[in-house]
Amino acid sequence: MVNDNENVEKVIDEGRQGSALTLEDVQDNTRKLYIESYGCQMNFSDSEIVASILSKEGFNTTQQMEEADLVLVNTCSIREKAETTVRKRLEKFNAVKKINPNMKVGVLGCMAERLKSKFLEEEKIVDMVVGPDAYKDLPNLIQEIDEGRSAVNVILSKDETYGDVAPVRLNSNGVTAFVSITRGCDNMCTFCVVPFTRGRERSRDPQSIIEEVNDLWSRGFREITLLGQNVDSYLWYGGGLKKDFDKASEMQKATSVNFARLLHLVALAQPKMRIRFSTSNPQDMTLDVIETMAQHENICKYIHLPVQSGSDRILKAMNRLHTRQEYFELIDNIKQIIPECAISQDMITGFPTETEEDHQDTLSLMEYVKYDFGFMFAYSERPGTMAARKLEDDVPAEVKKRRLREIIDLQQKHGLYRTQQHLGKVEEVLIEGLSKKSDAHWMGRNSQNTVVVFPKEQYQKGDFVNVKINDCTSATLIGEAVGFSKNN
């Protein structure tokens, strides 16, 4: 269970760990890059692309900001708090710049795209502002700032997917990795800033996705998460925006690849690689995706399926293009086709005009689904979105907070209900690293994405192990290994 606060803090923590490059990447690199990432998994994945582009420019990453020639912060705009966190970090950068006056500071990601050159005026420490589609321009922009000018590129692209950039894995556990498959989002949920900061939706060439997955397998990675704002909307027809698909030739249409097909291709390319994906949007998820999941043992039984609200009226105001009933039907289909499938949610409390009755609808929807876990937030008005322009942010902060508390409490209860269903079972776990609480225990996940902790014995990181589940909390399973799984 993660609330807003924890989510942001976790991200900061990961950001502070700095980054590691492989040996081939460090040859001849003399300048030092420090990069911090905030927000969604896509931002972490983008930072790996940025590190790759800059490693070719002579930059090696460092974990010490104090010794960096270039400090980059990959930012998030999703809620006001995410932006405040970044502004606070810039104050820290300012203090470091006093010790290291040659250090240059660049802002990447969604805040860069949202604020554009205004950033340079508002935050004097910032030398460079780069939007999510402009990272290939970084070499030129860095030259500008090296010559003492400020630099801005926030142009959004029709076809940039960075499919040709091999990411440098930062903060990697060497076992799990993100592979981005789409960029941007066309859904225009009325509360969401992403369509404005990340542009229109486009998909990456399936061949380059498969090559990346093959390469990850050969380097010892055992699990990948296919990433997109809305993965079910993936559609490759030779490049270009999703919205221009209608204009594609008959040949392009006939050979196009949708998300179900992509999943199938990736699952076949590496039959032992565990495959996850995130995020699914209920209005775009189709039965063929669920059926493809059921056909391949290496596709994990887990779907992150944000719903945001249980009230039909609020769903409509959010421009979520499905009803409560249609969502239930989707859930029923998932549970029928993949009975053991775990499902998680994102929820927003206190969207404009949300009444107590709407809130009760959210609680009763949760009661129906009994999610395995969830990410819950109080509504935060984002400038420029349809909700900000048309609707007053009229639910008082304390009401948003109380409703948030209630859904978090209910989620915790459901989390426990779900973890208890695993008791006594033997489940395959992929070991990701040491347990946070004990060096004598491994931490890994089962197919359903639930964290499993167990004594280390002879097993190693990256092993697939069968674990008997003996105990649980609302978010963690505790067990003991009974042998390698057949996948090992």
Of 188 and 440, nearer to ligand F3S (C-beta) is 188
In the block, residue with structure tokens 């009933």: 325
Which of 339, 317, 326, 254 lies closest to 286, judged by CA? Answer: 326
Residues 6+ apart with CB under 8 A from 4: 79, 81, 376, 377, 378
- For position 311 contacting ligand F3S by CB under 6 A, the verdict is no
**DSSP assignment string, 406-441:** HHHHHHHHHHHHHHHTTTT-EEEEEEEEE-SS-TTE
Residues in touch with ligand SAH (CB under 6 A): 40, 78-79, 191-192, 194, 229-230, 279, 306, 308, 346, 348, 377, 379-380, 382
- For position 132 contacting ligand F3S by CB under 6 A, the verdict is no
Burial pattern 377-390, b for ≥16 Cβ within 10 A else e, equals: bbbbebeebbbbee
What residue 379 binds from ligand SAH, ligand F3S, none (CB within 5 to 8 A, per partner kind)?
ligand SAH
Supply the minimum distance, in Å, between the C-beta of residue 166 and ligand SAH.
Answer: 23
C-alpha pair distances (Å), 139 with each of 64, 65, 78, 134, 410: 22, 20, 28, 11, 49
E strands, 242-323, in order: 257-258, 274-278, 302-304
Of 191 and 371, nearer to ligand SAH (C-beta) is 191
Of 96 and 224, nearer to ligand SAH (C-beta) is 224
User: Would you give the DSSP letter of residue 299?
Assistant: B
Between CA 76 and CA 85 the distance in angstroms is: 9
What residue 380 binds from ligand F3S, ligand SAH, none (CB within 5 to 8 A, per partner kind)?
ligand SAH
Residue in 110, 175, 181, 192 binding ligand F3S, rule: CB under 6 A: 192
Between CA 456 and CA 474 the distance in angstroms is: 22
Of 391 and 475, nearer to ligand SAH (C-beta) is 391
Range 294-299, long-range pairs (CB < 8 A, 24+ positions)? 294/337, 294/338, 295/264, 296/263, 296/264, 296/267, 296/268, 296/271, 298/267, 298/270, 298/271, 298/272, 298/273, 298/274, 298/487, 299/263, 299/267, 299/275
What residue 195 binds from ligand F3S, ligand SAH, none (CB within 5 to 8 A, per partner kind)?
ligand F3S
**Alpha helix (H) ranges present in 100-240?**
109-115, 118-122, 138-146, 194-198, 206-218
- For position 344 contacting ligand F3S by CB under 6 A, the verdict is no
Question: Going residue by residue from 266 to 285, which x/- string records binding to ligand F3S, judged by CB under 6 A?
Answer: ---------------x----
What residue 79 binds from ligand F3S, ligand SAH, none (CB within 5 to 8 A, per partner kind)?
ligand SAH
Supply the minimum distance, in Å, between the C-beta of residue 465 and ligand F3S.
Answer: 36
Supply the minimum distance, in Å, between the C-beta of residue 230 and ligand SAH.
Answer: 5
Supply the minimum distance, in Å, between the C-beta of residue 59 and ligand F3S.
Answer: 30
- For position 37 contacting ligand F3S by CB under 6 A, the verdict is no
What residue 60 binds from ligand F3S, ligand SAH, none (CB within 5 to 8 A, per partner kind)?
none
Supply the minimum distance, in Å, between the C-beta of residue 304 and ligand F3S.
Answer: 12
Read off the tokens for 298.
């290496």
- Region binding ligand F3S by CB under 6 A among candidate stretches 190-198, 328-336, 431-439, 472-480: 190-198
- For position 39 contacting ligand F3S by CB under 6 A, the verdict is no
Residue in 117, 187, 474, 476 binding ligand F3S, rule: CB under 6 A: 187
Of 78 and 209, nearer to ligand SAH (C-beta) is 78
What residue 351 binds from ligand SAH, ligand F3S, none (CB within 5 to 8 A, per partner kind)?
none
Give the chain's end-to-end CA distance (angstroms, integer): 30
Which of 178, 137, 128 lies closest to 157, judged by CA? Answer: 137
Supply the minimum distance, in Å, between the C-beta of residue 229 and ligand SAH.
Answer: 4
CB neighbour class for 202 (10 Å; exposed up to 12, middle 13-18, buried from 19) = buried
- For position 8 contacting ligand F3S by CB under 6 A, the verdict is no
Between CA 200 and CA 184 the distance in angstroms is: 5
- What is the residue type of 440? A
What residue 190 binds from ligand SAH, ligand F3S, none (CB within 5 to 8 A, per partner kind)?
none
Of 73 and 194, nearer to ligand F3S (C-beta) is 194
Supply the minimum distance, in Å, between the C-beta of residue 147 and ligand SAH.
Answer: 37
Of 195 and 310, nearer to ligand F3S (C-beta) is 195
- What is the residue type of 22? T
Residues 6+ apart with CB under 8 A from 437: 453
Of 103 and 235, nearer to ligand F3S (C-beta) is 235
- What is the residue type of 405? R
Of 371 and 459, nearer to ligand F3S (C-beta) is 371
In the block, residue with structure tokens 């790996």: 48
- For position 45 contacting ligand F3S by CB under 6 A, the verdict is no
Provide the CA 58 distance to its chain's centre, in angstroms. 28
| 207-266: contacts with ligand F3S (CB under 6 A) | 229-230
Residues engaged in binding ligand F3S (CB under 6 A)? 185, 187-189, 192, 194-195, 229-230, 281
